[in-house]
Amino acid sequence: MPSPNAAATNMVPPKVGQEIQRLRNERKLTLEDLSRLAGVSKSMLSEIERNRANPTIAVIWRLTTALGISLDELFSTDNQAEPIKILNAEECPTLGSQEKGYQLKVWGPIDLAGRFEWYELQLAPQGALVSDAHDPGTMEHITLLRGSIEIETETQSRLLQKGQTARYPADQAHTLRNKSKEIAKALLVVVHA
């Protein structure tokens, strides 16, 4: 097992400047354009892109915001190393309540949370996922893969069967309930307004 010092010497810092330059060129922005958008001097930006300056987190944040990406995306070595990233099932977070009989596997990337989310929902027999109203205009789309699920909103209740898809307003309290004696499994997509 290598020592911590050996591991530290093998670590290579991300090439922030090169990535900023790549993103700027990809968006067809000049140094002057990005400088103006980010509020960073053109000379400082040039030094950063040539890896001759160590920018502060505040400067990097202004640049990533102007480029429309998150700090995580900039510093992710996975994005730079391989364009296709494969996650194993255990790498995706799971939310749930054994008491209420539901499990939600989070398939969507965390940076899309609050805008566009997708989950694999599993409901135990008699289990329910009870949700408060989301932001105005939010919609949910559910496709049933196995079993049956009753969808209840403030105004109506409908039974969803295997292979069917339901779309309903999620800006009101709503419940997904499995009234059957078998496990129900579905894909759930939440689209925020």
Does CATH place domain 89-191 in 3.10.20.30? no
Residue 108 DSSP code: S
pLDDT grade, residue 10 (50/70/90)? very low
Domains 4-81 and 89-191 equal at CATH topology level: no
CATH 1.10.260.40 fits 4-81, yes or no: yes
DSSP string of 139-192?
EEEEEEEESEEEEE-SS-EEEEETT-EEEEE-SS-EEEE--SSS-EEEEEEEE-
Highest averaged pLDDT of the listed ranges 23-27, 57-61, 123-127: 123-127
Q: Where are the domains of the chain?
A: 4-81, 89-191
The rounded mean pLDDT for the chain is 85
- Cβ pair 102, 96 in contact under 8 A: yes
Q: Which two tokens stand for residue 56?
A: 């502060």
State how far the Cα of 8 lies from the Cα of 81, in Å rounded to an integer: 20
Cβ contact 61:48 at 8 Å: no
User: What pLDDT score does 85 carry?
Assistant: 77
pTM (whole model) above 0.75: no
Nearest CA to 151 out of 171, 134, 135, 128 is that of 128
Is the predicted pLDDT of residue 15 greater than 80, yes or no? no
Q: What is the tens place of the pLDDT at every residue in 129-155? A: 999 999 999 999 999 999 999 999 999
pLDDT at site 14: 61
